A and B are shown apart, each in its own frame.
Chain A
């Protein structure tokens, strides 16, 4: 079944959530796509590698959070290695056909290790950036404030301004191969998300607002098309208003939002797919 046909004959956006080998955010990520109006499927990587399912059945691919292969050899390394060795051509076709990929946390680490973001000069499968061990050397779960860059091609962050989201990682420090690569990322406006000081809204270089020591406070980065995007914070962990750590205070102030802020990222993806890929 190709992506364009559906069981009911209506046009629906289909999202693929790849599972297995220690990934663990499949349920909430699938739920996020569903709340955003897509049909989401959770498929084990091995079923794709075995040819039982294909990437091109879907419009959006989510590489999700978790600990693929225990983060051994570096977060995302072994999983990226498997994708590079056994799914390379499908990935190239998927990106080439204008579809969307989001990598969240472990998924971002995998995208970076695969070289699918930032993919400067359209060079795929050549790592240009990395998510290194946090500056303080330990895993951290905390809510941070991120701001989406306005002049950025990223499809997923369109119309998003400032967001509260949790980070949950030990290796999230955004670094580039060299200073020139970092400059190119900035020049081309690919730094889609930055950690900011919640008071000033300005990019934060200091702990805890910049939780890991990321260069230029970069929390998420996309490729030049804006259709492949990786981010360290977890938008799928803020689907309900009451996920926010201070939601009871927001309630007391009459400022509790109608839905969790993370949903916007998924709504953007589904809207783009509906407009361009159906």
Chain B
């Protein structure tokens, strides 16, 4: 039977969802509208009498605030237009899943195979000026995404004639499971065509390697019952294993580097091995707290005798460009599975996020067709990570946004997760794991569908208008939360030996990687639980359907494991066994459909060879208007997208769950100034041992020199931890590169320059991390952040996110950025230089310049040690490190945070080089600086502890809420704090 349940607000009760739609229609789409209403609709296909359905309706509609109707109501007053938004077939519908749970509880039985629930939302609009074109825009520019949703627009007349069409997005395709042989005895052109047509992203050289291997192994394949040439299952598996996403081919390439400036010519055999791992290995000789770096899903460091910390940051750029909500949600719940799949499985402790977008104020006509407007993109990305993170019960600690027009083609969505691993589990180290031949291969969590097929190879391609729709997954945080709870319970009972996540490449990747541990596996796809019928074997193997983990379970533990899974309502399936055959064997109902030679699969890809050429760009300083008023300049700077407060969005992320928060992401008396870093207790809410987390990003510096960009970014992330009272002793770093395609090609003539930028950024990480003793423990790269839409190519600026994590012995020593009391003294610490190149100030004036901020790492390290000594001794009342916007912005933010006034004489700032201009003093973004306030009674001890590092007493916290800046006694500006605060909070003020 088919039933329609319709739920709407009871008369007299508000419909905030409709209010939000109204606001967005008016403000964002600028369309006239009188009123919107919404109603939720559940379409039930249920073998149950109408009385049962009435009971279901009673449970679904909240009797206090809602009205439930069985069938369809006639809205009063009548509407002018209706838009019905539902899901496309096969798209994850999380609400329907929960509704099905509720129905099962009410009926007291599970749903049958023909029974189903679908959800849709009906938006009713009133507005005399609304026409069909306006409704199209509301439907597709605001309410629905064509990729995953359907939207039906009905005028009142159409509705009167037909009513609302039934919402039944059932997956109905029928396809015979088939395994094809892909013949590779073809011309080079055809080889490339096979790769292109199949979205395999394999180069000719790689295709030829596969061709050659198969030529040489025909006999062996015959014995296994396989054709001479690869089956589609095999070719797809190889393609995803060799994809840029999984193999990091560019980071492992052999690079010929030419520096036209110095004449240097050198060969780099793998950036990763040379610079990233190279630096960490050097540091590791002195850092015994590194437990597991680079080889597992996330890096592991020792926290104390009982716990280790696990950290991973990922990007989810391409999916977020296509489906900002679902893509971003998958980004956060996806990266959660990295710590969960590290060692024997970590508890998930803290999330971080960071996004790069084009301006949300970009004029509509500048957005190429086929791309989302950056405002919508931003709103939806936030919403996806908010819902994903909040529903998973993981607080966020660090979040940031960066804006540049060049992110119009592709936004960057960084998500990361910190976890904790027990130091020992069942007597063994928590960070170690193994697989023995004979162990069972088990998949746990969600079912397999067409979601995310080709995600790994797809993200290694440019974005095109016709990018495949399967590349999108939607996260289901509740299914994942149930799975996480279950797995941690199973972990503590020692019910499995090995765990890893199913991310890019699905089972092909997870089981394929697990094979390397023990030497092989033999699985049967017929066992795999599917969302719907009709998947091809290769699709089952490669599906990136979310919320899944792969495990090795000892045979003697399998009954207990499956029993616990059933009791926690988590699906767990034995797919096969691990072996030591040297092959990853995949069957379908017993018949071998793939037998992948592990050595060829993992070592057979030819090393990429690339060319990098560095030529220093020539960039002019912008003209500074002679009449520019410092007060006006500072106020405008505070309102700039890359400086202003993102609090309106940030407040929608839970940052308190678990009760561990010590220094919150936003601080100050009004809670609207971003903290330099976050501090959290790790074990229990009342324990004093904690962790500090920070991030650095500054893409614009790379326009001048990616070396100094990367050096600055590392410095930022390091000094921000020092600014909250942390130190360098046990600090680890994570590198996340998002780059425009650095591979030279017909559509990419400046590849060698972008690759040179990549080389230089890597060299900076190598230099900085060693100088600071801050090893990289994990990292990720995303190398194809270009989009070609409507014939226009937009490439992102080279973007490095450096994330830091440091153990804090006692969180009670933490320091925040808000000045605490009038009368406290203001100190400026660290050199200010003539470094306005790439600054926000120059960007405001429309230029870049060449004087990029540099880092003197040995001096900076010494300075950080002295500042850390001050905070450890409790000598700082407040501390903040300037970044974008320099000293002027830093002092303004401190005034806003404290609510008191501040006066400071910038003429006293330690200056590198003579005669800094007023603008350099105010806005130069020189690295390695702090602004501190200190109680007068601590001044002497503070100055003594700082010792010989450059610092100056420059002013005081004052009662009058005014920022008073001067130079050598001459007033620069005097601005009420309320005015600063308004400028700082008004730009991104919508929720």
Chain A residues in the interface with B (C-beta under 8 A): 19-25, 27-28, 31, 35, 44, 46-47, 50, 65-67, 69-74, 77-78, 81-82, 84-86, 112-113, 127-130, 132-143, 166, 168, 175-177, 234, 236-240, 242-243, 245-249, 252-253, 260
Contacts and interface: CB of A to CB of B under 8 A. Distances in A.
B590 interface: no
B391 A130 contact: no
B16 A136 contact: yes
Contact of B105 (A47, A70, A86, A138): A86
Contact of A72 (B94, B652, B659, B820): B94
Nearest to B671: A245
B68 to A, nearest CB: 11
A20 B64 contact: no
B62 to A, nearest CB: 5
A129 B935 CA distance: 51
Contacts of B812: 242
B102 interface: yes
10 contacts: A23-B393, A24-B393, A67-B390, A67-B481, A82-B101, A140-B651, A140-B652, A243-B685, A245-B667, A252-B821
Contact of B482 (A21, A84, A85): A21
Contacts of A67: 390-391, 393, 477-478, 481
Contacts of B654: 139, 141, 168
Interface string B620-664: 000000000000000000000000000000011111111111101
A184 B656 CA distance: 34
Interface string B105-132: 1101000000000000000000000000
A24 B65 contact: no
A70 B991 contact: no
Q: Which of B65, B392, B811, B821 has the most CB of A within 10 A?
A: B65
Contacts of A133: 14, 16-17
B215 interface: no
B79 interface: no
Nearest to B95: A72
A73 B393 contact: no
Contact of A71 (B99, B391, B671): B391
A199 B175 CA distance: 68
Given A22-B393, A141-B652, A130 B94 contact: no
A66 B391 CA distance: 7
Contacts of A71: 391
B16 A134 contact: yes
Given A35-B686, A239-B686, A142 B671 contact: yes
Given A22-B482, A35-B686, A243-B659, A81 B59 contact: yes
Q: Which of A50, A140, A243, A253 has the most CB of B within 10 A?
A: A243
B685 A81 contact: no
Interface of B: 13-14, 16-17, 19-20, 59-60, 62-66, 94-95, 97-99, 101-102, 105-106, 108, 386, 390-393, 477-478, 481-482, 485, 567-569, 651-662, 664, 667, 669, 671, 681, 684-686, 811-812, 814-816, 818, 820-821, 877-878, 935, 991
B946 to A, nearest CB: 20
Shortest 9 CB-CB contacts between residues of A and residues of B:
A24-B393, A137-B16, A28-B659, A72-B98, A130-B64, A252-B820, A69-B98, A67-B391, A239-B685
A134 B568 CA distance: 32
B652 A139 contact: yes
A239 B688 CA distance: 12
Contacts of B101: 69, 78, 82
A262 to B, nearest CB: 8
Contact of A130 (B17, B65, B811): B65
Contacts of B482: 20-22
A211 B820 CA distance: 26
A73 B662 contact: no
B64 A175 contact: yes
Contacts of B568: 20, 44, 46
B657 A132 contact: no
Nearest to A75: B62
B485 A20 contact: yes
B102 A47 contact: no
A253 B105 contact: no
A245 B664 contact: yes
Nearest to A137: B16
Nearest to B933: A252
Contacts of A81: 59, 102, 105-106
Contacts of A253: 820-821
A137 B656 CA distance: 20
Contact of A66 (B393, B662, B816, B877): B393
Contacts of A47: 567
A175 B65 CA distance: 8
B116 to A, nearest CB: 16
Contacts of B105: 78, 81-82, 85-86
A132 B14 contact: yes
A28 B685 contact: yes
B657 A237 contact: yes
A181 to B, nearest CB: 9
Given A22-B482, A67-B391, A234-B656, A73 B95 contact: yes
Contact of B656 (A35, A168, A248, A252): A168
A77 B59 contact: yes
Given A85-B105, A127-B62, A137-B17, 11 more contacts: A21-B482, A27-B658, A70-B98, A73-B102, A74-B66, A132-B65, A177-B64, A242-B662, A248-B820, A249-B816, A252-B877
B330 to A, nearest CB: 15
Contacts of B991: 136-138
Contacts of A140: 651-652
